[in-house]
Amino acid sequence: MTVTPTPASRAAQILSRPITLNGLTVPNRIVMAPMTRMFSPGGVPGEDVVSYYARRAAAGVGLIVTEGTYVGHESAGGSSRVPRFHGEEQLAGWKKVAEAVHEAGGTIVPQLWHIGTVRKQGQNPHPDAPSHGPSGLRVDGTEDATPMTQADIDAVIGAFAQAAADAERIGFDGVEIHGAHGYLVDQFLWEGTNRRTDAYGGDPVARTTFAAQIVAAVRAAVSPDFPVIFRFSQWKQEAYDARLAETPEELEAILAPLAAAGVDVFHASTRRYWLPEFEGSDLNLAGWTKKITGKPVITVGSVGLDGDFIKAFQGEGSPVKGIDNLLDRLEADEFDMVAVGRALLQDPEWAAKVLADRFDEIKPYDAAALQTLS
């Protein structure tokens, strides 16, 4: 008897396509978005963190971007429970994470992070360290940090480069530089927090100098085929209507130096992926980024859910939402990959269910999921 194979669902046809990012081949187009979880006491990811990421890789996530991890600079972070990407014990924990994800069939990159003036004076893990920013300004405009000297800038650049080298050494598949959401790198990019009058401040191109130097240092610290991802956003944690660029031309002025410095992939962070970025076009921020740079681009923003993620952190749940619009845009090559956040936080099997056309089994998001590492 001849058995006719069941045709793959449209979701599987579009999302299951492999993609090559520099020297890395990712088995499909599904990315786990970075989400801070604070389950790493002493900055060390334990066995629960290992299992958390491995479960999602085993269920079909092609590329995992870890939660933000502090680079080796005393002012990089503000919590002792957020993982660090420096230190012998911390890196040993991350090595186990990478090995488990690989055994489950996935690929993984750490997100390298410095929070800048988001850090309040006196916070752990280094309470005596000053908070740093380009001009000492928080996103809300208050002065609550130390403007960075050239020595400070050089130290932070070196910390990112060292973290990237360590990532390659312990078996990760690439790195992502966190340049979004009002943290340090973004504070240099945005005129609201960057009032410098030296080479690091001024017009959009000058404000990109710090980020481009980090990218160049990371690129030099790793193998040529080791992927470097750069995440950026228009919005900030305390300024959701903030914008780096009001026009495609302004966006190009920011992205071109980063691409030239060595970015292989851009991760364009939006709160709702379906919204157009500029008037006169349906392209979202990821779509414009791909059009401008020609680089592979990851889109993100409330994928699979009907509700803004900001409200999730205020205790609100979100019902499941279809992804037909997302599939249309992926099929049209507006962008290349899609990062999934809360839907994967709630349901480790989200990717497997989507790829098998089991949408009726997908769980709605419950904000209580933030309280556990399931």
* Residue 29 identity: R
Closest among 113, 64, 86, 368 to 237, alpha carbons compared: 113
Alpha-carbon gap, residue 352 to 355, rounded angstroms: 5
Closest among 207, 286, 291 to 244, alpha carbons compared: 207
The answer to whether residue 183 is catalytic is: yes
Closest among 315, 277, 320 to 299, alpha carbons compared: 277
Alpha-carbon gap, residue 66 to 346, rounded angstroms: 16
Alpha-carbon gap, residue 268 to 287, rounded angstroms: 9
Q: Is 371 exposed, middle or buried (0-12, 13-18, 19+ CB in 10 A)?
A: exposed
Which residues 6+ apart lie within 8 Å of 192 measured at CB?
A: 137, 139, 141, 236, 239, 242
Cβ neighbours, 10 Å, residue 295? 18
| φ, ψ (nearest 5 deg) of residue 358 | -105, 50
**Phi-psi group of 27: left, alpha or beta (phi > 0 → left; psi -120 to 50 → alpha; rest → beta):** alpha
Q: Would you say 110 and 175 are in contact if contact means Cβ atoms under 8 Å apart?
A: yes
Distances (CA, A) of 96 to 32, 33, 82, 100, 177: 18, 20, 17, 6, 21
Cα 303 from chain centre: 15
Closest among 197, 216, 220 to 207, alpha carbons compared: 197
Question: Which entry of 52, 53, 70, 183 is annotated as an active-site residue?
Answer: 183
Alpha-carbon gap, residue 125 to 69, rounded angstroms: 13
Alpha-carbon gap, residue 128 to 330, rounded angstroms: 47
The residues that are catalytic are 183
